[in-house]
Structure 1
């Protein structure tokens, strides 16, 4: 059985373009019975939410966010859940905006208790 994301805090390993998530963004994940959701904030993102499903090591979700400049954005993401050698979780993501042009890839990893 794949490790649950419920209660985990994850953060991007690198900054994206301005107005997007970055290394100061924190994702608080929840998971129950194949449903996955998270709240996120930090950096250029004032408030964000994602909701979707999990099937094995695959996440499929939609996200919406309010940025610090007052604009909003939304999109779709498919992620692969990977367990790192030290036991932490990594999500390898392919995403695309639905509210505007653009797509890309990103990586978020579970923070340790001592990480900022």
Structure 2
């Protein structure tokens, strides 16, 4: 199992569609006893929160966010935690909106410095 996510800051490696999370978005993760949660903001997202569980290297969580245009959206995500050769954490994600149409994949990696 990869190391704990607690206290890590992660960011997408590529921009998603307009109005979504992107390379300027920062996720601050917390983890305790198989539970995970994070706050995120940046780019088109003013405030975002996710909550869920971790089982080994798998994350299962739901997210909700407020965008710059005042709209809200929510969805579900399954992620796999891996460790990069330089020791940073990477999440490979499969997500699906629940409040609107759409699904996809994304990759977020630990930000250092």
TM bracket, shorter-chain basis = over 0.9
Q: Give the drift of 1:2.
A: 3.0
- After superposition, give the CA deviation of every residue in 1:23-70 in whole Å (9 maximum; x if it has no partner): 000000000000000000000000000000000000000000000000
Structure 1's consecutive aligned runs of 4 or more residues displaced over 3 angstroms after TM superposition are: none
TM-score of the pair, normalised by structure 1: 0.96
In the alignment of these two chains, the number of paired residues is 113
What 5-or-longer segments of structure 2 have no aligned partner?
none
- Give the corresponding residue for 1:36: 36
Counterparts of 1:24-63 in structure 2, within 5 Å, are: 24-63=24-63
Q: Matches of 2:56 and 2:71 in 1, distance apart?
A: 34
What 5-or-longer segments of structure 1 have no aligned partner?
none
TM-score of the pair, normalised by structure 2: 0.99
Contact 2:2 2:82 in 1 (8 A): no
CA RMSD of aligned residues (A): 0.6
Q: Give the drift of 1:89.
A: 0.2
